[in-house]
Amino acid sequence: EEKTGLKDFLHINDFDKGTILKILDRAKEVKALLKSGERTYLPFKGKTMAMIFAKPSMRTRVSFETGFYLLGGHAIFLGPNDIEMGKREETRDIARVLSRYNDIIMARLFAHQDLLDLANYASVPVINGLTDYNHPCQIMADALTMIEHIGQIEGTKVVYVGDGNNIVHSWLLLAAVIPFHFVCVCPKGYEPDAKTIEIAQQAGVSKIEITHDPKEAVKGADVVYSDVWASMGQKQEAEQRRKDFQGFQVDEELMKIAGPQAFFMHCLPAERGVEVTNGVIEAPNSIVFPQAENRMHAQNAVMLHSLGL
């Protein structure tokens, strides 16, 4: 369907640098407004959002629902048992029916292709709330958090320690747009998608490294970032992965090697004592909670952009 004046938000690199930075600026502006207690800015008034969840969620569900409501709109939660995408009903039918009731659709799905199909058949903007492939709203929140704590993304060094998963793909796609130094340090066999690495490298914007020695990688990092070793849909591999990821825990020693300038970030939920120690999450340079808070502010700005508001 043609979406005049409306835009899906599926991958960071669907947008140019100017647009990403403009959305982040808007996020800062609307965040300040909401934090001041102001409740008269209601750009989503009279609008509804359908939120499809094929997987569990805390941050994504609550931040989208709360954010949309605070700006005047109404959000509808559809859990795995409500929609049963591709099982009870085909994606192309869901897309066209939901578009007739709602102004915007947010979806958290397994297969990325399902999200692309949903966006293709919907006549309203579709926002990616995480797929097996990527998680762009998370990386927008992370970028906003870096701007607040470091002042910028450009020129920084971000070292992701762990599994080359959906979070890494979104970091790589951000690195295709904004110049910084991105390192994914992972066990052999757990590298991110080769095509996505290529997209990031061929953009020629950032320095991209995929390496296997955490102690070497984190030196001089502005951000050390971690995520679970077994993502949603991989929990049956958790035991094997714990073995394969030995040496990849972010602990106090690794943060010390990184240096005093290094912030710790994690998209959450975290398995304390597995991919990260308790001490690192609770340390003064851990910014995981401001980061989680920024999900709402980043997404509010994404939705304003998607709706042309």
Which residues have a catalytic role annotated?
267
131 lines the binding site for ligand CP (CB under 6 A): no
Among positions 58, 194, 283, 309, the unique one binding ligand CP when judged by CB under 6 A: 58
231 binds, among ligand NVA, ligand CP, none (CB under 5 to 8 A by kind): ligand NVA
266 lines the binding site for ligand CP (CB under 6 A): no
Q: Is 18 helix (H, G, I), strand (E, B) or coil?
A: helix
Q: Would you say 275 and 249 are in contact if contact means Cβ atoms under 8 Å apart?
A: yes
- Give the alpha-carbon dihedral of 62, 66, 68, 73, to 10 degrees: 120
Distance of CA 163 to the CA centre of its chain: 15
58 binds, among ligand CP, ligand NVA, none (CB under 5 to 8 A by kind): ligand CP
Size of the site for ligand CP (CB under 6 A): 9
Sheet holding 126-128, edge to edge: 74-78, 48-53, 104-108, 126-128
Among positions 6, 30, 47, 60, the unique one binding ligand CP when judged by CB under 6 A: 60
By CB under 6 A, what part of segment 213-252 binds ligand NVA? 227-228, 231-232
166 lines the binding site for ligand NVA (CB under 6 A): yes
Residues 123 and 98: their CA atoms lie apart, in Å, by: 9
- Using CA atoms, how far residue 182 sits from 60, 73, 225, 228, 284, in Å, is 25, 37, 11, 19, 23
267 lines the binding site for ligand CP (CB under 6 A): yes
227 binds, among ligand CP, ligand NVA, none (CB under 5 to 8 A by kind): ligand NVA
Q: Which contiguous run of DSSP H or E holds residue 168?
A: helix 166-175
Sheet holding 157-161, edge to edge: 207-211, 181-185, 157-161, 223-226, 263-266
> Both tokens of residue 60?
């994504």
294 binds, among ligand CP, ligand NVA, none (CB under 5 to 8 A by kind): none
Shortest Cβ 97–ligand CP spacing (Å): 25
169 lines the binding site for ligand CP (CB under 6 A): no
Among positions 34, 150, 257, 268, the unique one binding ligand CP when judged by CB under 6 A: 268
Contacts with ligand CP by CB under 6 A lie at 57-60, 130, 138, 267-269
**Site of interaction with ligand NVA (CB under 6 A):** 130, 165-167, 227-228, 231-232, 267
